[in-house]
C-alpha cells in the first residue's frame, strides 16, 4: 500500500521509485505516536536505532552503519528548543561475560558541536534519549490538569442538564 502511495506521489513529481531509493531519501511509515524512518541507499549496510525525547521526529530509524550521534539527531529533524543537549544518553546493550547488560553512555552534544570533538558512532539497537528541561514537565502536568478540569466541567454541565 505504501509503495503505491509513494509511486503515485512520485508520478506527479516526475521522480522514479528507483531514483528515490538510490538517492537515499527518507521514507516514513506508521504515524501517530510512532514512526519508522529509513535513511540509506540501496544495498547500503544499515542498522536500526531508536531516537527518543526532545527532537522534531522521534522514532525508530534505519540508518547507514557509519551514522554517528549528531547525524541521528539531525535525521530526527534536530533538537527542539527545550532539549538539554548537555545530557544526551545512549542506551546500549553490551555483552559482559555471558550476559547482556544495559549500558548508559552520557554525552555532552553541545561540547561536540562547540569544540568539534568526534561524535560517537552508533551501534545496532542503540537508543538515543534527548532529554528536555524541567519546565517541560511542569507544562505537561498543567496541560493534564487543564484537560481534567475541562472534562469535569463537561460532566458537571451534563449532570445539571439531566437534573432539570
Helices (H), 23-122: 69-75, 109-115
> Tens digits of per-residue pLDDT, 56-115?
999 999 999 999 999 999 999 999 999 999 999 999 999 988 898 999 999 999 999 999
Residue 79 and residue 14 share a domain: no
pLDDT at position 5 is 42
Residue 145 and residue 125 share a domain: no
pLDDT at position 51 is 97
pLDDT at position 31 is 54
pLDDT confidence tier of residue 9, bands split at 50, 70 and 90: very low
Bridge partners (DSSP) listed for residue 152: none
* Beta carbons of 103 and 94 less than 8 angstroms apart: yes
| Number of separate domains in the chain | 2
Residue 54 and residue 86 share a domain: yes
Print the domain residue range for 97. 36-131
- Strand blocks (E) in the chain: 27-31, 34-38, 46-53, 59-64, 88-96, 99-107, 127-130
Amino acid at each position: 500500500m505504501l509503495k503505491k502511495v509513494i509511486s503515485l506521489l512520485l508520478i506527479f513529481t516526475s521522480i522514479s521509485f528507483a531514483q528515490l531509493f538510490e538517492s537515499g531519501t527518507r521514507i516514513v511509515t506508521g504515524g501517530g505516536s510512532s514512526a519508522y524512518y529509513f535513511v540509506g541507499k540501496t544495498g547500503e549496510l544499515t542498522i536500526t536505532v531508536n531516537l527518543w525525547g526532545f527532537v522534531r521526529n522521534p522514532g525508530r530509524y534505519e540508518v547507514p552503519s557509519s551514522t554517528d550521534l549528531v547525524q541521528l539527531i539531525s535525521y530526527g529533524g534536530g533538537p527542539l528548543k527545550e532539549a538539554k543537549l548537555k545530557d544526551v544518553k545512549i542506551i546500549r546493550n553490551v555483552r559482559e561475560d555471558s550476559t547482556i547488560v544495559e549500558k548508559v553512555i552520557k554525552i555532552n552534544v553541545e561540547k561536540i558541536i562547540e569544540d568539534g570533538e568526534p561524535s560517537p558512532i552508533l551501534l545496532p539497537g542503540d537508543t538515543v534519549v534527548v532529554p528536555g528541561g524541567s519546565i517541560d514537565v511542569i507544562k505537561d502536568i498543567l496541560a493534564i490538569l487543564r484537560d481534567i478540569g475541562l472534562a469535569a466541567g463537561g460532566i458537571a454541565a451534563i449532570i445539571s442538564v439531566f437534573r432539570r
